[in-house]
Structure 1
Amino acid sequence: MKNQAGIEFLQSAQRYCSLIDTFDSKPINENLMSLLISLLDLYTKAIHLPDIESESEEAVDVFLTVPQINLGQYNDYWEVFNPYQLEEPVRTSLTDDILDIYKDVKQGIILYEKNDISEAIWEWKFTFTIHWGSHSVDAIRVLHSAIRVDSY
């Protein structure tokens, strides 16, 4: 089952993963802007993924290797996990956000490349809703701040 939203998300996910795979080969300032643009595109495309029921009875286990990236001074930031409750901020990691997103979308890419297209779309939409969507929103905010600070 091919659909346009799935194809567009696949292309965005492939660009994002390629960026992460080659991350340390480019200057950090270039990477920050590229990450921001890629995450905005990925998030926008994820919103338009169709709701599909999983055809699998069990969780699909896909093996993948996660690259290491170095965000240097931009890695650690402060986060409040529930914006509707007054709570102390906690220190968290942009690297964790970026690589969690990578793992979730890469798993779907692998399924798509195995021609398990419905399962790939389900995986992307489900993990977007419960996991990497929040990581991307956090990363977008942090990248926006890092780029803004660097441009002054």
Structure 2
Amino acid sequence: MVAPSLDEFRTAAEQYCALFTREEPIEARDIWTFRDLLLRLIFHITAVESHPHGTDHDDDQPGMEGYYRAVKKLEALPFNLYRVVFDPHDFEEKDEPVTGSLSDDLADIYGDLAGSVALAQAGHVDDACFYWALLYRSHWARHAVSALAAIEIYRTDRCESTE
């Protein structure tokens, strides 16, 4: 089996962010690219978590303006809203399913990855790993898993090909 790799995580993070910064619009078929990148990011995150972490440089995230631009770029995806149970492990609470937003998930992940991609590209890999791991555990893990579940159910229910 292939072991999780920091280089592979970094490559996937760069490719993910490039979808939002490229000139070409995001198209409906890019949903499969997002699916593949989310799978890679989730698989390789343990390499990020085990890498030494630094805090010498701040993570400069895109902010709300960058978030809104990212959401706007996602308009062509084949669906946006889906149902989700907020905490699948809380059997005491009788949660009703809530509405999830694929564009919110994917844009939030972009926001959490982008600043650290810039740090890593500037040679501050330890600092990038600190922010990638922190933001994964505190924020984008839920977005990634929810988005991936919604995309995969969409694919299997419609017998869609990822090509």
Establish whether TM, by shorter chain, passes 0.5.
yes
Shift, 1:11, TM fit: 0.6
Any unmatched runs of 5+ in structure 2? none
Runs of 4+ more than 6 Å apart: none
Amino acid at match of 1:105: L
TM-score scaled by length of structure 1: 0.82
- Identify unmatched segments of 5+ residues in structure 1: none
- Aligned-pair CA distance for 1:38: 1.1
Identify which of 95, 116, 135 aligns with 1:108. Answer: 116
1:79 maps to a residue whose letter is V
Matched, 1:81 2:79: no
Distance in 1 separating the partners of 2:143 and 2:23: 18
Q: 1:44 to 1:145 in 2, by over 3 A?
A: same
Q: State whether residues 51 and 125 of structure 1, in contact with CA within 8 Å, keep that contact through their aligned partners in structure 2.
A: no
Calculate the aligned-residue CA RMSD, in Å. 2.5
Q: Is the 8 A contact 2:61 2:114 kept in 1?
A: no
1:32 and 2:31 equivalent? yes
Shift of 1:126: 1.1
| 1:81 CA drift (Å) | 1.0
CA distance in 2, matches of 1:147, 1:24: 24
Alignment correspondent of 1:62: 60
For the Cα contact (< 8 Å) 1:71–1:95, is it kept in 2? no
Q: Which residue of 2 aligns with 1:141?
A: 149
- In structure 1, the residue corresponding to 2:75 is in which secondary structure? coil
How far does residue 72 in structure 1 lie from its aligned partner after superposition?
A: 5.3
Distance 1:53 1:125 in 2: 9
Task: Give the conservation status (yes or no) of the 8 Å contact 2:10–2:117.
Answer: yes
Question: 5 Å matches for 1:122-137?
Answer: 122-137=130-145
SS across alignment from 1:74: coil
Matched, 1:17 2:17: yes
Report the equivalent of 2:44.
45
SS at match of 2:5: helix
Between the aligned partners of 1:109 and 1:138, the Cα distance in structure 2 is 23
